[in-house]
Chains A and B, each alone.
Chain A
Amino acid sequence: MAPGQNGDRRAAIVRTGLLFGLWTILAGTGVADLLVGTVVAALAARVSLNLLSPGPHRVDPATAARLSLRFLLQSVLAGLDVARRAFDPRLPLRPGFIVYPTAAPPGLFRSAFTAFTSLLPGTVPAGPAPARGADAGGIVYHCLDVDAPVAAQLAAEETALAGVIRDE
């Protein structure tokens, strides 16, 4: 019981802190701003805890920072990739669907993974694979180039993300 409560408290403090930071960016840092901000941040943190209970997930800040850098690089590559294809007079596209088999059950990690990969080069997640059949449990991706090593790239991203959001 006790560890769970500790986790809850820690999540509450971290989220209140982050939301308070957002408030100071938006509203300023005068005395009245800060006073109102604590109330607003606490309220928003409560909403957040209701919607997303701390659960077994833990976010590691150091790895998260590294992942953000990787993500920035990837999204630049994604933009360049699309720009190259759009400006190329031959329009080099081989679009199609692939199914990426993932072991992640539906939940926060899987949603974060699809959101993350939707911003990567060449892939847009297009929902879960049909519930029955060989692909059950996988995620359907639409790719600009089905011959590219998409699955390998997605697997690398999944490993990277798993280092940030992990089950304890």
Chain B
Amino acid sequence: MSVLLDLVTIVMVSAGMVFFLAGTVGLLRFPDTLTRLHALTKADNIGLGLVVIGLVPQAGSLRDGLKLLCVWLLVLLASATVSQLVAQAARREGDSS
């Protein structure tokens, strides 16, 4: 059982890392602030989600697992807000120049 859970963790966390890598590659390769914003928010949100799902089986208790999920939800909320704020600022800058 525990081997199976470890396997789930390894697979999920590795998949999450791939998305983080994708986000970073996008950050470096995409041409401007707005497209980079896409790369960072979308890829990192799902990357963090997969890492969290992967870590839940390793949590000592149900409470710890739920705490991990709370972390992800809060990051999603923050990411949704921050991406809009940055996008607006970038758009305004683009308008004025």
Contacts and interface: CB of A to CB of B under 8 A. Distances in A.
A127 B88 contact: yes
Interface residues of A, number: 35
Interface of B: 18-19, 22-23, 25-26, 29-32, 34-35, 37-39, 41-43, 45-47, 49, 63, 66-67, 70, 76-77, 79-81, 83-84, 87-88, 90-92
Given A86-B30, A126-B91, A114 B22 contact: no
Given A25-B63, A25-B70, A78-B46, A142 B22 contact: no
Interface string A28-57: 100000000000000000000000000000
A125 interface: yes
B71 to A, nearest CB: 11
Interface string A70-90: 001001101111110111000
Nearest to B19: A79
A124 B87 contact: yes
Contacts of B31: 93, 95
Summarize B's interface: helix, strand, loop or mixed: helix
B22 A91 contact: no
A19 interface: no
Given A26-B67, A142-B87, A86 B32 contact: no
Contacts, number: 109
A122 B35 CA distance: 9
A122 B32 CA distance: 15
A115 interface: yes
Interface in A111-134: 114-116, 118-119, 121-122, 124-127
B47 to A, nearest CB: 7
Given A79-B19, A97-B91, A115 B42 contact: no
A95 B81 contact: no
A79 B46 contact: yes
B34 A142 contact: yes
A85 B19 CA distance: 12
A144 interface: yes
A101 B66 CA distance: 38
Contacts of A97: 91
29 contacts: A25-B70, A26-B70, A72-B49, A75-B45, A75-B46, A78-B46, A79-B45, A80-B46, A82-B42, A82-B43, A86-B29, A93-B30, A93-B31, A93-B35, A95-B35, A97-B91, A114-B84, A115-B84, A118-B79, A119-B42, A121-B42, A122-B38, A124-B84, A126-B91, A127-B87, A127-B92, A142-B37, A142-B87, A142-B91
